[in-house]
Amino acid sequence: MINLPAAISELSPLALVVMGAGLFVAALARGYSGFGFSALLVSSWSLVVEPSRAVALALVMEVIASVMQAFSVWGMIPWRRVAILTLWAIIGTPAGVWLLANLPSDAMKLGVAVFVLIAAVALLMGFQFKRNASPAGTATIGIVSGVANGAVAMGGLPVAIFLTAEGGSPAKMRAALIAYFFLLDLIGLGFLAQTGIVRAATFADALVAFPILVIGMWYGTRRFLGTTAESFRRTTLWILIGLGLIGIARVVFA
């Protein structure tokens, strides 16, 4: 049985405030755009608890969030594209794990963060693909996502950049990200469960976090339903710029 008080009793009031605020902002971003939850949660929670605890909870909550959103986006999910991305991400993940084992992790995190920042700024300034990517192009993005996921657990950001650059329907883009993250996070959970990082205490954290997740996602979804395509695109890019800056700051000021 999970002892719920023990999961949070060792934390200071300041730590709980930081964790609650970070969780709410992450849930808000997830409800609005379909991505950004893990990066925001891990960035904020790592300030006050060990990163492994934040990563484990992020993956569990991502899966819960995807299940909560599945009913509203199911009919809009481009399953063929999601399947291609996921297949090639699985193929690319071992290469990312190899990089993690053989290269400085901070250098890789900085590289991904700089890439996301530059790409998001370029998109905000008007860059856009002239047509949707071919299956080969989609497969390439899947491999890049898998490598980033295996190396620095940031596999979703390249896909978010890729889909934003295509300039398609906000509803379909959001649905694709929700479905893709669900599959990617299930794979990640499997790896973490084998290492013992996901344990009973993780689910105690998830139980405490669940009400804040629901409230944040509800408000984020309301904001999405009331937005225009251009407003969604710009807000998504600002989220990506923020995530890029957070990633750079975490490496530079660590």
* Whole-number pLDDT of residue 8: 61
* Whole-number pLDDT of residue 9: 60
* Whole-number pLDDT of residue 1: 43
CA distance 64 to 119: 29
* Whole-number pLDDT of residue 126: 82
Q: Which two tokens stand for residue 64?
A: 């819960």
Q: Which residue is listed with tokens 């959103």?
A: 69
- Tell the burial category of 121 from Cβ atoms under 10 Å away from its Cβ (0-12, 13-18, 19+): middle
User: What string of pLDDT tens digits covers the 254 residues of the chain?
Assistant: 445 444 566 778 888 899 999 999 999 999 999 988 888 888 888 888 887 788 888 889 999 999 999 888 999 999 999 999 999 999 998 888 788 778 787 887 888 889 889 988 988 888 877 777 788 889 999 999 988 887 777 788 889 899 888 887 899 999 999 999 899 888 878 777 777 778 888 888 899 999 999 999 999 999 999 889 889 989 999 999 999 898 898 888 87
CA distance 216 to 24: 5
Q: What is the pTM of this model?
A: 0.82
Domain layout of the chain by residue ranges? 4-252
Short-list 193, 201, 173, 209, CA closest to 85: 173
Per-residue DSSP letters for 192-241? HHHHT-S-HHHHHHHHHHHHHHHHHHHHHHHHHHT--HHHHHHHHHHHHH
CA distance 26 to 19: 10
CB of 164 closer than 8 Å to CB of 240 = yes
CA distance 254 to 251: 5
Q: Which residue is listed with tokens 């991502």?
A: 62
Q: Which two tokens stand for residue 33?
A: 């755009």
Helix/strand/coil percent split, the chain, to 5: 85, 0, 15
The dihedrals phi and psi of 48, each to the nearest 5 degrees, come to: -130, -15
* Whole-number pLDDT of residue 27: 95
